Amino acid sequence: QFYTEYIYHNIIAKGYLAISRLVYKAVDRIIIDGFVNGVASATSNYGKPISRLQNGKLNYYALYMLYGVVFVFLLLILIFKGGILHV
Amino acid sequence: MSSILNIAIFLPLVGAFIVSLFRNEWLTKVVSIAISGVVFALSVILLVNFNPNTHHFLYRTNVPWISSLGINYDVGLDGLGVSLFTLTALIFFTVFIWAIKVKEKPTLFYALFLILETTCLGTFSALDLFLFYLFWEGMLVPMYFIIGFWGHDRKIYAANKFFIYTFFGSLFLLLGLATMIVYGYFISGHISFEYDFHRHIAYPLWLQIILFVLFGIGFAVKVPMWPVHTWLPDAHVEAPTAGSVVLAGVLLKMGTFGFVRYSLPLFPQASKIFIPVMFVLSIIAIIYAAMMAISQTNIKKLIAYSSISHMGMVTLGTFALSVSAINGASYMMIAHGLSSAALFYAAGFIYDRFHSYEISDLGGIAKYLPNFAILFMISGLASIGLPGFSGFVSEFLILLGTFKYFPMWAIVAGVGMVLGAAYFLYMYKNVMLESASLPESKIQKLQHTMDLELHHIIPFVLILFGAFIMGIMPYNFVNIVSQTSKLILGRF
């Protein structure tokens, strides 16, 4: 039979299975799903320190608001006077 | 006729309120099955009366809803819509029959599925962008609870992943919709969420590209296309059988439906630019997911990856931009909805009887459960595209349509399909056959296992009958969707 059975079973079929399993573990689980779960845990890890900003003290909130207002004004000045957008 | 469509969409929602009043769980189940049966009958009426020679939306209802914002209650069906509408009604009808023995919180289970049915039917028939998005997002809530309450070991992880991942995609879709509405306001002076209105706006190319990407991310997560597919295997493995069936049979079709209904006709030039990207992602999905499928040890995960592979075929056909390829893609949405539902029923039956999805725990089932073995085999062959079943027709049309304009891609996809057939035969061999090498304890157990019961047989037969009818007389069904395909291509 010119070893066709042997080649088929042991090289093509088993090789295909082995490559598939390797790709599943390396690419699908570690790279793609690892990235997805990494984004999820990064969000919750960064969220924890940032959540301390919400400390219930009104004077802090007023300060954040001031920062925000200054930022928006700077942005508007940049847009209208800085020539980013010609209006 | 338009009132039939409205009744069919909202009857399940009304039913959800009705069954939640019942104290008797059998009454809940019987009423739910009856309601979904009525909805299925109505959808068949809509399908039979559908005029395949028009490209207009039929059964149209268009009444003002939030008129200060230009939002209307606008529903109607075109060829693709009516096909998916009927598929949804059929899948839900079988799901309610299958789940009749659910023990935990049966009333809540049936009520959530009834709500889910309304949102699915609504997504396929909405012609107002606001209404579409409402149904599209509304579907996440019942599905989240279905996976989270009735799932298996890692159900909370899977439910959260499913929800956050698909919600993440939907936010891009929302941003795209908002951009579109604002642009429509700038050029016409009034706010309109109407699909018809936006279809007749010629967007400038730069805006089309932005919108295509935003819509595309939302749809691609739902399809799911490679590489945003990893939520699907997790969600499927942990979901209860009924949830998996709806997920594979109906929810995945929303993404591909979105591409055909929204991306292609609204952003034709951008779609043309993105053909190479979509083709590469589709081909990767077909071959890569087929390889992932065969390397699984969990049968549900295997079927989940096979779904990704098939959906790659659908996106390939959609972006080949020829009438027969888009017909084939539409046909494959229905065909895959039927065959994957049947395969997930089979996996669910195996779990009910043997409490495991692992291939290594199973084996030699065919000898002891012959009825199940036959139906499982037919489901699998329908899925891998045996002539005589709907899968074959759709694959043939997609490859034919793609070959006309992009022969190299069609050849690669064809090779991928051959690899695809391997995983089902491999699974069937290891799960159902090889009874000679079984240990004595397993044989004892198999001899005392009951074969299919009536509430298993009815869903199987209904679904496989649908796949068979669509396989032997494809002309009638292709005819229904072909006007939609022609209309889309008229824009190019």
- Asked if residue B62 has pLDDT above 90, the reply is no
Q: What is the pLDDT of residue A85?
A: 53
Q: Is A62 exposed, middle or buried (0-12, 13-18, 19+ CB in 10 A)?
A: exposed
Interchain proximity B291–A16, CB inside 8 Å: yes
Contact list, B164 vs chain A (CB under 8 Å)? 40
Do residues B438 and B361 lie in contact, with contact meaning Cβ atoms separated by under 8 Å? Answer: no
d(CA B422, CA B305): 13
| Residue B448 distance to chain A (closest CA, Å) | 34
Average pLDDT score over residue span B335-362: 89
* pLDDT, averaged across chain B: 88
Q: What is the pLDDT of residue A82?
A: 64
Average pLDDT score over residue span B155-165: 90
Please name the residue of chain A whose CA is at the shortest distance from the CA of residue B234.
A33
- The angle at the Cα of B167, spanning B164 to B168, to the nearest 5 degrees, equals 80
Average pLDDT score over residue span B421-432: 86
Do residues B292 and A24 lie in contact, with contact meaning Cβ atoms separated by under 8 Å? Answer: yes
- Asked if residue A86 has pLDDT above 70, the reply is no
Amino acid at B359: I
d(CA A29, CA B230): 9
Q: How far is CA B416 from the centre of its chain?
A: 21
d(CA B203, CA B200): 9
Going by pLDDT thresholds of 50, 70 and 90, the confidence category of residue A87 is: very low
Q: What is the pLDDT of residue A29?
A: 86
Q: Looking at per-residue confidence, does B320 or B437 come out higher?
A: B320
d(CA B289, CA B306): 6
Contact list, B422 vs chain A (CB under 8 Å)? 16
Q: Would strands B58-66 and B71-77 be described as parallel, antiparallel, or unpaired?
A: antiparallel
Please name the residue of chain A whose CA is at the shortest distance from the CA of residue B423.
A17
* pLDDT, averaged across chain A: 83
Q: Which of residues 415-434 of B touch A (CB under 8 A)?
A: 419, 422
Query: Chain A within 8 Å of B294 (Cβ-Cβ)?
Result: yes
Identify which of A24, A33, A40 has the shortest CB distance to residue B295.
A24
Instruction: Count residue pairs from A and B with Cβ separation < 8 A.
Output: 32
Task: Give pLDDT tens digits for B70-111.
Answer: 888 989 888 889 999 999 999 999 999 998 888 888 888 999
Do residues B286 and B323 lie in contact, with contact meaning Cβ atoms separated by under 8 Å? Answer: no
Query: Chain B within 8 Å of A50 (Cβ-Cβ)?
Result: no
| B228, B287, B291: best to mutate for the A interface, most A CBs within 10 A | B291
With a threshold of 0.90, tell me whether the complex ipTM lies above it: no
Query: Chain A within 8 Å of B141 (Cβ-Cβ)?
Result: no
Task: Give pLDDT tens digits for B398-414.
Answer: 998 888 888 888 888 88
Return the minimum-mean-pLDDT range out of A2-6, B36-40, B158-162, B275-279: A2-6
| Residue A44 distance to chain B (closest CA, Å) | 13
Query: Chain B within 8 Å of A14 (Cβ-Cβ)?
Result: no
pTM, to two decimals? 0.90
Return the minimum-mean-pLDDT range out of A3-12, A36-45, B208-217, B312-321: A3-12
| Residue A70 distance to chain B (closest CA, Å) | 27
Contacts of B445 (CB under 8 A, 6+ apart): none
Average pLDDT score over residue span B160-164: 91
Q: What is the pLDDT of residue B474?
A: 86
Q: Looking at per-residue confidence, does B421 or B318 come out higher?
A: B318
Average pLDDT score over residue span B32-61: 89
Q: Looking at per-residue confidence, does A78 or B249 come out higher?
A: B249
d(CA B464, CA B16): 28
| B295, B308, B429: best to mutate for the A interface, most A CBs within 10 A | B295
Q: What is the pLDDT of residue B484?
A: 83
- Asked if residue A18 has pLDDT above 70, the reply is yes
Identify which of B227, B230, B295 has the shortest CB distance to residue A21.
B295
Q: What is the pLDDT of residue B430?
A: 86
Identify which of B230, B231, B295 has the shortest CB distance to residue A20.
B295
Interchain proximity B295–A23, CB inside 8 Å: yes
Tokens matching residue A64: 């954040």
Task: Give pLDDT tens digits for B352-387.
Answer: 888 888 888 887 888 888 888 999 999 998 888 888
Distances (CA, A) of B468 to A31, B317, B478: 40, 22, 15
Which residue bears the tokens 């809940």? B28
Query: Chain B within 8 Å of A21 (Cβ-Cβ)?
Result: yes
- Asked if residue A70 has pLDDT above 90, the reply is yes
